[in-house]
Amino acid sequence: MRKSTVGLCLVLLLLVFCQPAEAARISDITETSMTEQVQRFFSLRDPSVRYALLGSILLGACCSLMGSFLIVRKMALMGDALSHAVLPGVALGFLWNMEKDPIAIFIGAVLVGLLGAGTVQLIRNTTRHKEDAALGFVLASFFSVGICLFTMIQNLPSGNRSGLDKFMFGQAAAMGQGDVTLLATVTSVILITILIFFKEFKITSFDAGFAKAYGLRVQLFHYGLMLLLAFAIVSALQAVGVVLVSAMLIIPAAAAYLLTDRLSVMLVLAAIFGMCAGATGAFMSFVGRNLPTGPFMVIAAGAVFAAALFFGPRHGLVSRWWRQRSQTAKIRCENTLKALYRVLEDGDFVQESVTIQEFCEQRRETIEDARQQWKEINKAGFATLRSDAAAFTPDGWQRACEVVRNHRLWELYLTNTANIAADHVHEDAEKVEHILGEDAVRKLERTLNHATRDPHGKLIPSIRDIHAHGTKISAPVRVDDKPTGFGSTKENA
C-alpha cells in the first residue's frame, strides 16, 4: 500500500512539472455567461483552471491531514496561531528579491512560523501563562507585524503589482505552476511522512508519556509535526488566505472526527473532505469570477461538518434524536401492551379482548389518547382492533408478557436482594422493564430461584407462559382455556 501511494505522488509531481507554462490568468478572462464559465471549468481547457483546481485539491488534502493530528492532540488553536504568525515571513520572502518567488516566500514563512511556534513554547515554559494566552499573544502580534510589512510593500513603487493581497483572503486563480509544484511537493512529503511514521505519530498523540518511557524520542516527532504543519500552512496560504487557512486545517478533520473511531479512517475521511471542499472552492471562485477562493472552500468544508454533526450515523444529532424517538415510541408501545395485559389479568384471563373503556380506566386516560395508542400497537402488529375492542396478536401477547415479567422480576429483585421497600420499587421497574435484555432476565430468574410471584403477589409470567399463550392465541381458542393454561404452567414452574 505504501509503495503504491509513493508511486501516485511521483506521478502527481511529474504531471505538475509537465504542464505547459503558457498560463493565462483567470482574471484576464473577458465577460462570458455563467454556463460558458461552468463549461470552461469542467473542460479543464485553461491551464489556469487546472492549476487552480489541482492546487485547491492538494491543499485540501495536506491541510486536513495535518489538521487531524491537531484535533486529536487538542492543539486546534495552534493551527490558527501559526497561520497568522507566518504573515511577516511572507512579506520578508517577497522583500528578499522584490518578486513573488514561491520558494523565497515559502522559506521566509516557514522560518517565521517556526519562530512563532517557538515563542509559544518559550512563553509557556518560562512564565506562568498557559498555552491559550501564549497562542493569543503570538497570533495577534505576529499578524500585526505582517500587516505593517504588507502595507509597506504596497506603498513601494512596484508594490501594488505584487499580488501579495491575495495572501489575505486567498485566490486559487492566482496560483501559478510554481505554486502548484510547491503544493504537490509538500503534500507528497506530508503523505509519505505520515505513512511511514503513522505508528509513532499515533502513540505520541495518544500517550506521550508511555512513548517516552519505551524510549521513543517524543519531542522529535512533536517538532516534526510542527514543521509539517508550517509547510502545509505556508503552501496553502495563497489559495485560502492567512485568515482562513486554519479553517481548512480544522473543519474537514473535525467533521471526520465525528464520523469514526479510528485514527487511520479519520485521516482518510479528512483528506477526502478537504479535497472536496478545495475543489468546490476553486469552482465557485472561478464561476463567480474573481471571488475569493478561501471563503468558499471554508463554507464547503463547513457544510460537510454540519452534515456530519447532524447526520453522522453514531454521534450525529439527528441520528441520536431519531434513536431516542424510536426508543420513546417503543416504550409507549410496551406500556400500552402492559396495560392491555393487566386488564386481561384483572379479569383472570377470561375475556379475549379488551374494550376501550376498560383500557382507559386502567391507564386513567381519555378515549382519544387510548385510540391513538391502540393505533400504534395495531400498526406494529401487536394487536388486532375490532370496533371498540382490542385483542393481542401472538407477537403482542409475547411482548406484553415479557414486559410484565421484566417489571415484576425487577421489583422482586429490588425488594429481595437490594432490600428496598416494596412500595418504592415500582417507579424504578417502570424504567428498567424496557431495557432488560434476555441475558439479564435469565440471570435475574436464577438469582430469584425462578420465583413466580412479585412483591405485590402478582404472577410473574414465565418463558413457558409467553410461548404457550402465543401459540394458543393464534389458534382458535375457547375463552376458558387461558386461565387453565396459565395455572398449569405455574404449577410446572
Partner 1 sequence: MVDPDNPPPLELHDLTVAYHKKPVLYGIDMAVPKGSLVGIIGPNGAGKSTLIKAIMGLLPASAGWVKVFGEPYKKNCHRVGYVPQRESVDWDFPVNVMDVVLMGRYGHLRIGQRPTKNDKEIAVECLKKVKMLPFAKLQIGNLSGGQQQRVFLARALAQESDLYLMDEPFVGVDAATEAAIVEILRELVTRGKTLLVVHHDLATAKEYFDSLLLLNMRLVAFGPTEEVFTPEILQTTYGGRLTILSEVAQTIGVQKS
- Name the site residues for partner 1 (rule: CB under 8 A): 72, 74, 196-197, 199-200, 202-203, 205-207, 209-216, 257, 260-263, 265-266
Q: How far is the CB of 311 from partner 1 (least distance, A)?
A: 19
In sign, the C-alpha dihedral spanning 128, 131, 136, 139 is: positive
The answer to whether 460 and 412 have CB atoms below 8 angstroms apart is: yes
Q: How far is the CB of 100 from partner 1 (least distance, A)?
A: 37
How many angstroms separate the first and last alpha carbons of the chain? 62
Q: How far is the CB of 203 from partner 1 (least distance, A)?
A: 5
Instruction: Please identify, using beta-carbon distances, which residue of 31 and 214 lies nearer to partner 1.
Output: 214
Q: How far is the CB of 29 from partner 1 (least distance, A)?
A: 44
Instruction: Please identify, using beta-carbon distances, which residue of 211 and 298 lies nearer to partner 1.
Output: 211
Q: How far is the CB of 260 from partner 1 (least distance, A)?
A: 6
Q: Give 369-433 as a 3 state SS string.
A: HHHHHHHHHHHCCCEEEECCEEEECHHHHHHHHHHHHHHHHHHHHHHHCCCCCHHHHHHHHHHHC
Report the distance separating Cα 240 and Cα 57, nearest Å.
Answer: 12
Instruction: Please identify, using beta-carbon distances, which residue of 36 and 132 lies nearer to partner 1.
Output: 132
- Give the DSSP letter of residue 145: H
Instruction: Please identify, using beta-carbon distances, which residue of 2 and 161 lies nearer to partner 1.
Output: 2
Q: Fill in the amino acid letter for 294.
A: G
Cα–Cα separations (whole angstroms), residue 387 to 219, 413, 476: 77, 40, 20
The answer to whether 131 and 76 have CB atoms below 8 angstroms apart is: no
The answer to whether 87 and 146 have CB atoms below 8 angstroms apart is: yes
Instruction: Please identify, using beta-carbon distances, which residue of 74 and 325 lies nearer to partner 1.
Output: 74
The answer to whether 401 and 466 have CB atoms below 8 angstroms apart is: yes
Instruction: Please identify, using beta-carbon distances, which residue of 111 and 216 lies nearer to partner 1.
Output: 216
Q: How far is the CB of 202 from partner 1 (least distance, A)?
A: 7
Q: How far is the CB of 439 from partner 1 (least distance, A)?
A: 13
- Among 17, 19, 75, residue whose Cα is nearest residue 47: 19
Length of the chain: 493
- Among 143, 153, 267, residue whose Cα is nearest residue 199: 267
Instruction: Please identify, using beta-carbon distances, which residue of 162 and 260 lies nearer to partner 1.
Output: 260
Q: How far is the CB of 121 from partner 1 (least distance, A)?
A: 17
> Of all helices (H) and strands (E), which one includes residue 485?
helix 481-492
Instruction: Please identify, using beta-carbon distances, which residue of 221 and 382 lies nearer to partner 1.
Output: 221
